[in-house]
């Protein structure tokens, strides 16, 4: 595995791979890799002759007062795990390499970026879209692997790729969970023992919403009320939103129909956790 820290070097290596006929699979991450990230890496390694992982904690997607400074990092462990899975290139740029001067060009996606996380974290998706656009420009034509755990992020990246004709295939991979249903996340380390014990309530809320839909409920407000009632049972959870929406637009446009997505976000102490699941009506 080659570990690369500069943009020109990544371009050189990957252009040479593509010229030699080897297609590239790319997994962008912020590091502190857990089995959720590693499932994306495994898929990228399996489906592509060349696999690239990036690790970059992107300051642009954190607002003032969020956890940029304390975001967990462990490059040595991340690197060993990538090597063991057969990753070919690990791209670990510094903030100076990515943003040598203050950023004047920002990629702002409207529509799918506006609701849900877009309301809770108004600057977040502009930061995500800008860094992902930049990483796609650096890595070049590839298949890029994202976790469905961040479903709205998948929608935002897909919309950006489509609107800007970026030559990247976006692949959404299933959410990897702890045995009790909690979606794996780098931010789970912020949970106290008591908060950790209550955090699976998010999965339980999604299950209750899915059960309501299976029983024939198509009113999004009714499904949302079912999910809210479940989260309310956890006294350490402060619910941000529980939404039942169309999977592609992330809004509801009358009775739920076709592909539907349920999404929840709640704060447990320092940790703000999100989760989602889908159903077809």
- Binding residues (CB under 6 A) for ligand AMP: these are 29-30, 36-37, 39-40, 146-147, 149-150, 173, 175-176, 183-186
CA distance 24 to 239: 40
Torsional sign, CA 129, 147, 280, 217: negative
Tell which residue, 165, 106, 159, 115, has the closest CA to residue 141: 165
- Which CB sits closer to ligand AMP, 81 or 186? 186
Name the minimum Å distance from CB 24 to ligand AMP: 17
**Cα distance between residue 117 and residue 245, in whole Å:** 14
| Smallest gap from residue 124 Cβ to ligand AMP (A) | 11
Beta bridge partners of 24: 50
Is residue 53 within 8 Å of 10, Cβ to Cβ? Answer: no
144, 169 contact by CB (below 8 A)? yes
Task: Compare residues 185 and 252 and give the one whose CB is closer to ligand AMP.
Answer: 185
- Least separation, in Å, of the C-beta of 74 and ligand AMP? 12
Cα angle 42, 48, 50; round to 5? 95
> Catalytic: which of 37, 123, 124, 257?
37
Cα dihedral value 90, 95, 101, 105, nearest 10: 70
Q: Which is nearer to ligand AMP, 42 or 195 (CB)?
A: 42
Is 37 one of the catalytic residues? yes
- The minimum distance between CB 229 and ligand AMP, in angstroms, equals 25
Residue 75 burial (10 A CB sphere; 0-12, 13-18, 19+): middle
Compute the least distance from the CB of residue 226 to ligand AMP, in Å: 24
Nearer to ligand AMP, 79 or 186 (CB): 186
Cβ 265 to ligand AMP shortest distance, Å = 14
Rounded to whole angstroms, the Cα distance separating 107 from 101 reads 16
Strand positions, DSSP E, the chain: 2-4, 24-29, 50-55, 89-91, 142-147, 168-173, 237-246, 259-268, 271-280
146 versus 212: smaller Cβ distance to ligand AMP: 146
Between 40 and 161, CB nearer to ligand AMP: 40
Question: What's the token pair of residue 151?
Answer: 């479903």
Kindly list the catalytic residues: 37
């Amino acid at each position: 595995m080659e570990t690369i820290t500069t943009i020109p070097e990544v371009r050189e290596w990957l252009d040479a791979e593509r010229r030699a006929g080897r297609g590239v699979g790319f997994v962008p991450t912020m590091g502190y890799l857990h089995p959720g990230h590693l499932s994306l890496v495994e898929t990228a390694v399996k489906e592509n002759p060349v696999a690239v992982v990036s690790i970059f904690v992107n300051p642009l997607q954190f607002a003032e007062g969020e956890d940029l400074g304390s975001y967990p990092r462990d490059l040595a462990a991340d690197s060993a795990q990538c090597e063991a899975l057969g990753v070919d290139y690990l791209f670990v740029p510094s903030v100076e390499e990515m943003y040598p001067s203050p950023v004047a060009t920002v990629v702002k996606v409207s529509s799918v970026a506006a609701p849900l996380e877009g309301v809770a974290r108004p600057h977040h998706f502009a930061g995500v879209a800008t860094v992902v656009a930049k990483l796609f420009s650096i890595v070049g034509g590839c298949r890029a692997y994202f976790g469905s755990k961040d479903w709205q992020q998948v929608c935002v990246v897909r919309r950006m790729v489509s609107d800007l004709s970026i030559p990247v295939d976006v692949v959404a991979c299933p959410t990897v969970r702890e045995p009790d249903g909690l979606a794996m996340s780098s931010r789970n380390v912020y949970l106290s023992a008591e908060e950790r014990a209550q955090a699976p309530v998010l999965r339980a809320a999604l299950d209750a919403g899915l059960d309501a839909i299976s029983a024939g409920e198509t009113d999004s407000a009714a499904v949302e009320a079912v999910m809210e009632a479940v989260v309310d049972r956890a006294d350490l959870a402060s619910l941000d939103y529980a939404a039942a929406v169309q999977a592609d637009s992330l809004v509801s446009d009358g009775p739920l129909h076709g592909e539907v997505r349920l999404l929840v976000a709640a704060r447990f102490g320092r940790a703000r956790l999100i989760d989602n699941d889908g159903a077809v009506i």
